[in-house]
Structure 1
Amino acid sequence: MDSAAADGPHSGPGPAANPLGHGPVLLLTDARLSDGRVVDVRISGDRIQAVGTAGGLGPLPALPGAPTSTTGARIDLKGYLLLPAPAEPHAHYDAAFSAALPTPPPETATDLTRRVTEAALTSLGYGATAQRTHVRIGDVHGLRRLEAVLTARQALRGLAELQAVAMPRLLTGLAGAEGRAQLREALKLGATAAGGCPELDPDPAGYVQVLLDAAREADCPVDLHTTAADPAQLARLAAALGPLRPRVVLGPCGALAPGGATVLAGSGVRVVCLPQNGCCTGLEGRSRGQRPGLLRELMEARVPLAAGGGALRDPANPVGRADPLEAAYLLAASGVLAPEAAYDAVSNQARAALGLPPVRVDAGFPAELLAVRGDSLPGALAGGHSRLVVHSGRVVSRTSAVREFADTVALALPRQSGGVDGG
């Protein structure tokens, strides 16, 4: 049988024998940028040290204290597009992969930690070097789901940055006393942000106020999980946020009524949408879709917009994926965002929602990068399967996709240096 590889002569970033990880210096050669330039990129430690024309940066320097013949790693990225790494701003890893499990799913510490870790690694394999997951606390869950996320976060150090949003169900009145105590305990344990869904509490405004008080006390950001259907309610919420607004994220806001985007305009609040499954509530059951026209309204109001994956094969979306490029593809395919803006929503806008600095393929910026097979951003969004992921200057994941055809099909196809589909 003859075969044709989807990635042409380079089935993955070479050399094929190069292991994941490397020393303090990494040289990426012949990488194409989204503006069409082909460059070499030298990384030292966790920063991009230099970007130059292909072949213009010279050989790798010898490593300090090592034999003169020893250098860092060199990776050929010919045929690949080099981009700022995406981030996942809105996930539910404590429920990931639970769609096929018994109801209720097992919640032992071992099972929870395994599913959270698998979810984070799945997202990392697609390129998300920074991730934020919403975690239910209180009720029958106590803090065990959060503890599983924090255990996974520790295990993932050096591979990806994992943030946790503590989400109590109730915060007001006598019924919310346990939630208030557990929220403060969660933030002391290491939860990154205070969050939750105000609509689930009998007193949504009171819920928000308790949450904001806890966030101020812990000096942490706020990530509210809301459908935000009523613009008047949203206006009251925005007013209550006060000085915290630049550190507040709202998502997924899938049911936001017309006029809601105008309320958020200029507020400093960021919105995270979920193109892959429209909306989710953090509860059991299927999610509702995103209201048509919402994204256009948010863009026209210049509300900072990031995009996330949401459910990962849980009851809210049994076929959910954790691929940021799929989210960007859906944004671009909707016709509301150009491919460049769509990718920005899953990369630098998503990083901003997580409180992280921006990334550019330029000297001095964090070495958080994604190399994806393709010669242009639209091509990469349409089918970039082969990927190489760099976190803190270190190669942490590599995926190589090869497609084969039967003899008669392969012989009928013209041979192209870029492979069958460049993916």
Structure 2
Amino acid sequence: MAGADGMAMLRDAVRMGASVVGGCPDLDPDPTGYVEAVLGLAAEHGCAVDLHTDGGDPARLARLAAAAGGLRPGVTIGPCGGLGRLPSDVAARTAEQLAAAGVTVVCLPQGDCGGAGHGARAGAAHAGVADGGAVPVRLLRAAGVRVAAGSGALRDMANPVGRGDPLEAAYLLASRQGLRPEEAYGAVSSAARAAMGLAEVRVEAGFPAELLAVRGDTLAGALSLAYSRVVVHRGRVVARTSAVREYCDSAAAVALDLPRQGRGKGGGVVS
């Protein structure tokens, strides 16, 4: 009864054309009832579901997985930092349940805005805990869960220096979570598009011209030094970032043939 007005507003939004429903069940007095209400409405209208949750309650996630099984177009949850504070066997069992239900997990490598404080992370850093507060992406992937990565905190209280850069998210997955560069990049590209219900993209004729061109000799090199890039949206260049690094006119720079800074008339280096 307490949520009747909110539920009525949600129904109105769906009737007006909203295609995704969701919210933050962790903040509701009845998280399970919240999830059941949202999933029920999504099933009734064929909407996708996006739920913001810490994921630290395995029983609640099990109930969510049971209710979400077979729901189309699908259910996405995140950032799920609480999964990393669960005992490894519990986290593994939960991952299997999410995989069986086809639930996608979106993690936030640049900052967990799920509300897990430093104290919770420190208290979880002991034997038998999956990953001390970081989403156990390798465990989820091993169970068959589709894992995407995003950037939830953009210069806010959770991450005051958040940049919203997907390549940085991929870099952190590779450097901190041990994913291969191809797996890390897939989490912010193909897996992210799939989670949002967007069409697959390949660099081939007939596919959507939604492309990112990055300067680099390999994918690993691109993730390591992804400063210069070109963004193509619907076949048009919509953003271009160029970074130039120059070195002082030293013997080492000359020997290595590195790009060097110009010199002014007085012999000082021009920045």
Q: Same fold (TM over 0.5)?
A: yes
Q: Is the 8 A contact 1:274 1:307 kept in 2?
A: yes
Shift of 1:207: 0.7
Distance 1:222 1:293, change over 3 A: closer
Distance, in Å, in 1 between the alignment partners of 2:199 and 2:158 is 31
Q: What residue is the counterpart of 2:96 in the other structure?
A: 262
Query: What residue is the counterpart of 1:277 in the other structure?
Result: 111
Give the Cα separation in 1 of the matches to 2:193 and 2:145: 15
Match of 2:269 in 1: none
- Relative to structure 1, is the Cα distance of residues 288 and 367 closer, same or farther in structure 2, using a 3 angstrom cutoff? farther
Structure 1 position 298 matched with structure 2 position 140: yes
Change (3 A) 1:324 1:234: same
Question: Which ranges of structure 2 fall in alignment gaps of 5 or more residues?
Answer: 122-131, 261-271
- Equivalent AA in structure 2 for residue 255 of structure 1: G
Corresponding residue for residue 393 of structure 1: 235
**Is the Cα contact below 8 Å between 2:56 and 2:82 reproduced in 1?**
yes
Amino acid at match of 1:389: V
Equivalence for 1:357: 199
**How far apart, in 1, do the equivalents of 2:67 and 2:223 lie?**
39
**1:210–1:396: structure 2 CA closer, same or farther, 3 Å change rule?**
same
Letter in 2 for 1:182: M
Counterpart check, 1:194 vs 2:21: yes
CA contact 1:287–1:317 (8 Å) conserved in 2: no
Instruction: State the TM-score, normalized to the length of structure 2.
Output: 0.80
Counterpart of 2:244?
Answer: 402
Instruction: Give the deviation of 1:230 after TM superposition.
Output: 2.0
| Aligned residue in 2 for 1:18 | none
Whether the 8 Å contact between 2:81 and 2:133 is mirrored in structure 1 is yes
Aligned match of 1:225 in 31, 43, 52? 52
Same amino acid, percent of matched pairs: 59
In structure 2, C-alpha distance between the alignment counterparts of 1:246 and 1:286, rounded to whole Å: 36
Higher relative contact order (CA 8 A, sep 6+): 1
Match of 2:174 in 1: 332
Give the direction of change, closer, same or farther, for the CA distance of 1:409–1:232 in structure 2 (3 Å limit).
farther
Q: Which has the higher strand share?
A: 1
Deviation at 1:389, TM superposition (A): 0.7
* CA apart distance, 1:233: 1.6
Measured on the aligned residues, the alpha-carbon RMSD in Å equals 2.6
Look up the match of 2:4: 177
More helix by share: 2
Cα distance in 1 between the residues matched to 2:133 and 2:251:
43
Q: Could you tell me which residue of structure 2 aligns to residue 244 of structure 1?
A: 71
Offset at 1:340?
Answer: 0.4
Partner residue in 1 for 2:129: none
TM-score, normalization by structure 1: 0.53
